Structure 1
Amino acid sequence: MFDIKKRQKIKGTVVLMPKSVLDINALNSVSSDGLSSVIDGIFDVVGDVTGQIVDTATAIFSRNISIKLISSTKIDDATGKGKVGKATFIEKHLPTFPTLGDRQDAFNIHFEWDADFGIPGAFYITNFMHDEFFLVTLTLDDIPNHGTIHFLCNSWIYNYRHYTKDRIFFHNNTYLPSATPAPLVKYREEELEILRGDGKGERKEHERIYDYDVYNDLGNPDKDQKLARPILGGSNTYPYPRRIRTGRKASKKDPKSERPGELYMPRDEKFGHLKSADFLTYGIKSLSQRVLPLLESVFLDSDFTPNEFDSFQEVRDLYEGGIKVPTNVLSQISPLPVLKEIFRTDGENVLQFPTPHVIRVSKSAWMTDDEFAREMIAGVNPCVIQRLQEFPPQSKLDSTLYGDQTSTITKTELEINMDGITVDQGLNGQRLFILDYHDAFMPYLTRINKLDSINAYATRTILFLKDDGTLKPLAIELSKPHPSGEQFGPESKVVLPAKEGVESTIWLLAKAHVIVNDSCYHQLMSHWLNTHAVVEPFIIATNRHLSVLHPIYKLLDPHYRDTININGLARQALINAGGIIEQSFLPGPFSIEMSSAVYKNWVFTDQALPTDLIKRGLAVQDPSAPHGLRLLIEDYPYAVDGLEIWDAIKAWVQAYVSLYYPSDIAIQQDSELQVWWKEAVEKGHADLKDKPWWPKMQTIEELVQSCSIIIWTASALHAAVNFGQYPYGGYILNRPTMSRRFLPEKGTKEYDDMVRDPQKAYLRTITPKYQTIIDLTVIEILSRHASDEIYLGERDHPNWTSDSKALEAFKKFGSKLAEIEGKITGRNNNSSLKNRTGPVELPYTLLIRSSDKGLTFRGIPNSISI
């Protein structure tokens, strides 16, 4: 009979990815002599490579990577922790190992084992090489009386000298803290202590420490006092979510601010060398550091190309023929691989962009009132429009500072186009809606309008729901501060729709001012603040306090992929002082400060889509209606599709959470969960920590709702406000980002010029050429999917958990999302739903879950990964 105590071998397989400089495919083609010179300069220990061509991967990695198994069932009495096995080195390279990802490499490893050791539940790994590598998985086969054990690692491993404690990884089992096998308890606690760090010093590249800081790194006062920016976070004046702490040196001129420079982020948060999002996102860095100075010299500092478009056709030439640039400029741009994908040079001295979806069918439909209104519910910013519930519209601004900001729009002006219905009837019948940016912009307009070549309004737009389910704009109110002082209230004018003559041009210009408000609010608030910024504190808290063994860590972790990285890149090149956003969007240096003002009124629980729709007056609770809500605009593509996605997410979270928490008491007794939530609120969102609306995390319902909000925000909400940026905004006429002229007054030269050449008047009002090139380049990058993107309902590894019930629930979630895809396609093909495609004939596909890579106008990634 087989003796279970007999010492035997356990076979394992290690999957890893080398650092890019150690690309195995490249090294495999190196001769033994050439390989020796490479290895001698890189490694401490190498295999035998003399005299013949060898298995390069085996030669490099064997005897350089050791693993020690840790028992989950047997305790070492000397340490009180699970027994640690003998160090074992990885062995032969397995180039044909099945299921390997792109450029991953597999290796054999064999461990000595006997019954006294028990069942492995974790392992230590040691890297003796100078260079780091990315550890993907370890799989142990045929553990006696147990079977296969999977370890999902997905982590960079540096040389052992960088660590004060050995790197540890746990198997893919799931345990609440109280249910953790005794031999693993201390290991679990120690790993979280490492991830929390001590909050001191400047972080180093190899570290994995998660800690909080305020946004004190956006300005650069040491370079120029004009680049000083207020610190966001830590004050009632400028509240803000927290970011990952870097601990860099303080600015000389502002000791509370950090000096700009290379950003620290925990190493595993950085894009891997295989991730094609590197290609996309670091294009932003190349753009800001190398390309924009060149283009600036073309459009702003030379006569080669004037910085104005003179006709709509000249704008379309950006896609149909390209824009000429000097040869010396193009020669410096073309070698940058990331920009070859963005700029289509085709061997000519031109920069050419792909045709935006919004003008692929019709070149002029964007100008219609129907499309103007439709994009408020099916465009790239469909989550701001509200139902008008009082008339005239009121302001919440402090009247002692800003005077009476009540709207000047009259009922008479609205009723001209209300098809015989009065304003009171429209209010009572829930048929009047408003896109209101008045309060967001008015406090900043005095400063904004002092910027060079900027003239802007704060806008209100009132719309009417027609019998066919579409929206019709009734009036636009354009307001600016009173010339005698803000305390005297605004100067406002009301513009009504017109289809002919000079009035139609003024109406088009008024719509442009609305869209400038909308474009800026979208980028700064709907996109950056309400997805990127608010999610980062939850990522930090999760890594500090939820072990990888914790069920909620396993639930949320896929929805954090790459977010800290892309946010760090944004602080370097997009939202920083003098960065891309400040150069090309209306508020300029006040851009992120404005988002701080909006954050004051951010409410976590309102981020749930049903709650958001009810709060904006777009839906009412109705148990008999789908999702328990009745939409007041029945054909509201973002809401209709979004509610199905929301319900699918919440059903998945409910099913998953129920596997681990049988009662509310289990929630309350989960030590990791409680400190996670407490810190996410009190440190991550410290400036709002005393708000009464925060869930107390005492019930299953609160946990399900909170996790659903985090997942929704990081996946579907971000997809809805991100991946339509180029399809709609790539045509600058449709979504301008700057306004440079007020509406011209009769009797002025500007008015006469407008009458003579309406197109030129429009172009002189909106974003000029250089800033347009910036806009188009950036939003094309941001609107693209990476080739290795992981979409909602997918995981990067099939064995992300050992829990078969969780896997089955997740499979149902994926099936439900696939079913929703089909329903969305069906709605887009329903001609009676006029808001689904609109005059531009662009179906609403942003909440279709799946996508190919590139510029697709669809796809819901798991996370905010770009």
Structure 2
Amino acid sequence: MVTYSVTVATGTTSYSGTNNYIYITLIGEKGESEKTKLDKWLQNDLERGSVDEYEVKSPRDLGSIRWLRLEKVRFLVEDDWFCRYAMVRTPSGETLHFPCYRWLSEDDVIHMREGPAKRPTDDKSPAFLTHRMKELDERQKLYRWKLWKPGVTKCIDAESEDNLHPDVKFDEYRRSDFEHALHVALGELFLKKFVNLFGSSWDSLKSFQRIFWRVKNNIGNYVMKHWKEDWFFGYQFKNGCNPCIIEKCSKIPENFPVTNDMVCKSLGGSTLEEQIQKGNIYIVDFKVLDGVPANVIKGVQQYVAAPICLLYQDPKNRLLPIAIQLHQIPGAENPIFLPSDPENVWLLAKIWVRSSDFQVHQVVYHLCGTHLLAEVFCICTLRQLPSVHPIFKLLTPHTRYTLEINTRARNDLLGKNGVIIRVVASGGRGMDVIAQKAFEMFSYSALCLPDNLKQRGLEGLKDYYYQEDGLQLWFAINKYVKGIAGLYYKTDQEVCEDSELQAWIQDLLQEGFQELPGFGMPEAFHTREELYKFLTMVIFTCSAQHAALNNGQYDWCCWIPNSPCTMRQPPLTSKDDISVEQLMETLPDMSQSSVQMAFTWHLGRKLPNKILLGCFDEEYFTEEGAKKVIAEFREELKDIEKRIEKRNEGLPLGYEYLKPSNIENSVSI
């Protein structure tokens, strides 16, 4: 009889342990061990966070251990179990590591392979190849595609989070935190009394403080003090919660007839053409909102505009608005507003731009540009890459909780009775139209930060910290990807020959992006560099890009006049002066303001027990080479953190969203 020592680690989150029966069998090239129940006499085995050791007997030496089989058998009541990993110490003293990180529910049986990553070409044994195919077949039955809305990416086929497999659901701590957070936002922030005051306008801008002061926020305080100032209006396009829409203006659009006489005073006596040639003129164009049907909230019509705004980078590197047009087609009732116009008129024109930016940020860049893309990458990874594949091991930490957060969002935030349709001007049908337009204007190159910034001509935009920090992170992630993937793909030919990798990109194109044939993604991977760039884009989108677009929502939106979720009166049609009362009747009412404040706090708050970029509590890679690359990646992220902190020390308002300590590994909120 041969004895093997087996160590089994149970998950650390609530309800990870089990009182059901768990059996283990070692399967080697020379046979199987005895089926052994993991149960020590008079001890509570397999409890939350436990690491238990057992002896497994075999009538003979098993040779190379191929699989470790775990079986769960119900005892009295169903009691799921989460296995982190198992380790086997052979009679010869060799230690084998078997990553798992899976839930066993009902009468589950799973086969775990040893830790080293394997491409399909690395597995010569028919048994291993059959195991890979069987695992993918099971996953493809669990994770099915569904069309959510025409013209956008597909999503997971699940009506609610209850339909998801336990492996991709929130752990108990995350679930409890998420479900109570919005209640806290409305209750603890004392907003409930305002939520029920639908249609009641605030009596002055100062009156917004009645809800604003419920949660103190340093950036929010700064916004409240400076939101009317032109330089701060321009600053937000660089380092606010939507730094993705601004572009260099090389030519004034034909539908935006700004003349030199209109803006020469704002340009310090210089001409518009001179400043365009110097690269100091920038533009934000909300044409994606043109023709979007506005929401009707409780029978009251709301309004959406599609403005164009011209900005000038002055000698102090401030970005100043110099002209605003509220609709795409010029005309007598669509004047170009200027800083020289009456104070309230110019202020309201800027507020219209900020409200349009709210719509575009939430739907185009945040929802479509991170959440929906991350979901597609997640589904493809689960469907086409077995757990032993190196790219599965690389990507799976960046898909954590994405399926559940998106499934919840489709029901609770974006559904027929969701928050968006209750308070946002573009909610309902408008959101669908914007999402379809968003994916029409998206492209693969636009998802790659260096290409995106070059296309928008932003090399000369000063104090653009999103660009500065984002590029550092992009190249750090790219180096990390090259380090990991380079361990397994030594030549371009090896990339071409990886059938599972090629199936992954095909599933992405043919299913996930089925509605978007012109997206421009590669149809296959032909070179290592092509693969590295694509994987960098995936990880960057799921981590840093989402952090840049998500984490500042409350900071910039808690002072409601700065980023109104809706506008209750039509856009201005003349430059005639307006009263404070007219301004207040246009801004969100008490109810809408309160809900905006609550849900932006809920989505942008710092999460408990989040897993930061570069931190992997689930150890999928066991090879020393991969561990070294991961350690180097972490050190580089620490260096980036230090550089950002040093830069921020000298700023009146530091840019914090792309500090690695604020970036979660995945889209999970």
TM-score normalised by the chain length of structure 2: 0.92
1: CA distance between counterparts of 2:471 and 2:79?
A: 44
Q: Secondary structure at the match of 2:539?
A: helix
Is structure 2 residue 651 aligned with structure 1 residue 848? no
Give structure 2 stretches of 5+ with no counterpart: none
Question: What's the CA shift string for 1:582-631, capped at 9, x where partnerless?
Answer: 2221112221331112111211232111001011111xxxxxxxxxxxx2
Aligned counterparts, 1:601-680, within 5 A: 601-618=441-458, 631-680=459-508
Aligned match of 1:108: 53
Offset at residue 543 of structure 1 (A)? 0.7
Aligned match of 1:190: 134
Change (3 A) 1:272 1:654: same
1: CA distance between counterparts of 2:476 and 2:59?
A: 46
Cα RMSD for the two superposed structures: 3.1
1: CA distance between counterparts of 2:245 and 2:455?
A: 11
Q: Secondary structure at the match of 2:663?
A: coil
Aligned match of 1:786: 607
Task: Assess if the C-alpha contact under 8 Å between 1:563 and 1:864 holds in 2.
Answer: yes
Offset at residue 448 of structure 1 (A)? 7.7
Change (3 A) 1:416 1:661: same
Change (3 A) 1:560 1:747: closer
Aligned match of 2:247: 386
Question: What's the CA shift string for 1:241-297, capped at 9, x where partnerless?
Answer: 010113x6xxxxxxxxxxxx665223211101133x5412564599899x9997688
2: CA distance between counterparts of 1:138 and 1:716?
A: 29
2: CA distance between counterparts of 1:94 and 1:862?
A: 40
Give the counterpart letter for 1:143 in structure 2. Answer: T
Pick the aligned partner of 1:561 from 380, 392, 400.
400
Change (3 A) 1:133 1:615: same
Task: Assess if the C-alpha contact under 8 Å between 2:211 and 2:594 holds in 1.
Answer: no
Aligned match of 2:68: 123
Question: What's the CA shift string for 1:152-196, capped at 9, x where partnerless?
Answer: 222221121xx5xx2222332211111126243322221111111
Question: What's the CA shift string for 1:302-351, capped at 9, x where partnerless?
Answer: xxxx732212332112243xxxxxxxxxxxxxxxxxxxxxxxxxxxxxxx
Offset at residue 491 of structure 1 (A)? 4.5
**Bigger shift: residues 166-175 or 377-386:** 166-175
1: CA distance between counterparts of 2:523 and 2:280?
A: 34
Give the counterpart letter for 1:242 in structure 2. Answer: K
2: CA distance between counterparts of 1:717 and 1:94?
A: 51
Is structure 2 residue 139 aligned with structure 1 residue 139? no
Change (3 A) 1:445 1:708: same
Give the counterpart letter for 1:461 in structure 2. Answer: C
Change (3 A) 1:19 1:449: closer
Give the counterpart letter for 1:192 in structure 2. Answer: L
1: CA distance between counterparts of 2:491 and 2:464?
A: 38
Pick the aligned partner of 1:85 from 21, 25, 33.
33
Q: Secondary structure at the match of 1:492?
A: coil
Query: Percent identical across equivalent pairs?
Result: 25
Is structure 2 residue 59 aligned with structure 1 residue 210? no
Aligned match of 1:597: 437
Change (3 A) 1:460 1:449: farther
2: CA distance between counterparts of 1:375 and 1:132?
A: 50
Pick the aligned partner of 2:284 from 432, 435, 439.
435
Question: What's the CA shift string for 1:665-723, capped at 9, x where partnerless?
Answer: 00010111011111111111112235555353111011100000000000000000000
TM-score normalised by the chain length of structure 1: 0.72
2: CA distance between counterparts of 1:823 and 1:94?
A: 55
Give the counterpart letter for 1:578 in structure 2. Answer: N
Aligned match of 1:815: 635
Aligned match of 1:422: 271
2: CA distance between counterparts of 1:105 and 1:455?
A: 57
Is structure 2 residue 202 aligned with structure 1 residue 268? no
Task: Assess if the C-alpha contact under 8 Å between 1:370 and 1:470 holds in 2.
Answer: yes
Is structure 2 residue 309 aligned with structure 1 residue 309? no
1: CA distance between counterparts of 2:503 and 2:572?
A: 58
Q: Secondary structure at the match of 1:279?
A: helix
Aligned match of 1:179: 122
1: CA distance between counterparts of 2:515 and 2:525?
A: 19
Aligned counterparts, 1:289-368, within 5 A: 298-300=196-198, 307-320=200-213, 353-361=214-222, 363-368=224-229
Task: Assess if the C-alpha contact under 8 Å between 1:16 and 1:106 holds in 2.
Answer: no
Rg comparison, structure with higher value: 1
2: CA distance between counterparts of 1:650 and 1:747?
A: 51
Give structure 1 stretches of 5+ with no counterpart: 1-5, 25-56, 76-82, 198-208, 216-231, 234-238, 249-260, 301-305, 321-352, 395-405, 483-488, 619-630, 831-836, 851-858
Is structure 2 residue 154 aligned with structure 1 residue 242? yes
Pick the aligned partner of 2:231 from 356, 370, 373.
370
Q: Secondary structure at the match of 2:300?
A: coil
Is structure 2 residue 347 aligned with structure 1 residue 508? yes
Question: What's the CA shift string for 1:534-557, capped at 9, x where partnerless?
Answer: 121121111111111111111111
Is structure 2 residue 356 aligned with structure 1 residue 411? no
Q: Secondary structure at the match of 1:271?
A: coil
Change (3 A) 1:540 1:743: closer
Is structure 2 residue 36 aligned with structure 1 residue 10? no
1: CA distance between counterparts of 2:548 and 2:654?
A: 13
Aligned counterparts, 1:641-720, within 5 A: 641-689=469-517, 691-694=519-522, 696-720=524-548
Task: Assess if the C-alpha contact under 8 Å between 1:263 and 1:568 holds in 2.
Answer: no
2: CA distance between counterparts of 1:792 and 1:69?
A: 35
Offset at residue 795 of structure 1 (A)? 0.3
Change (3 A) 1:94 1:471: farther
Aligned match of 2:582: 761
Aligned match of 2:334: 492
Aligned match of 1:775: 596
2: CA distance between counterparts of 1:746 and 1:559?
A: 50
Change (3 A) 1:513 1:450: farther
Pick the aligned partner of 2:564 from 710, 717, 736.
736
Aligned length: 664
Change (3 A) 1:93 1:133: farther
Q: Secondary structure at the match of 1:472?
A: strand
Is structure 2 residue 637 aligned with structure 1 residue 863? no
2: CA distance between counterparts of 1:822 and 1:715?
A: 19
Q: Secondary structure at the match of 2:237?
A: helix
Offset at residue 136 of structure 1 (A)? 3.0
Give the counterpart letter for 2:164 in structure 1. Answer: M
Offset at residue 744 of structure 1 (A)? 5.8
2: CA distance between counterparts of 1:704 and 1:731?
A: 41
Q: Secondary structure at the match of 1:118?
A: coil
2: CA distance between counterparts of 1:119 and 1:16?
A: 27
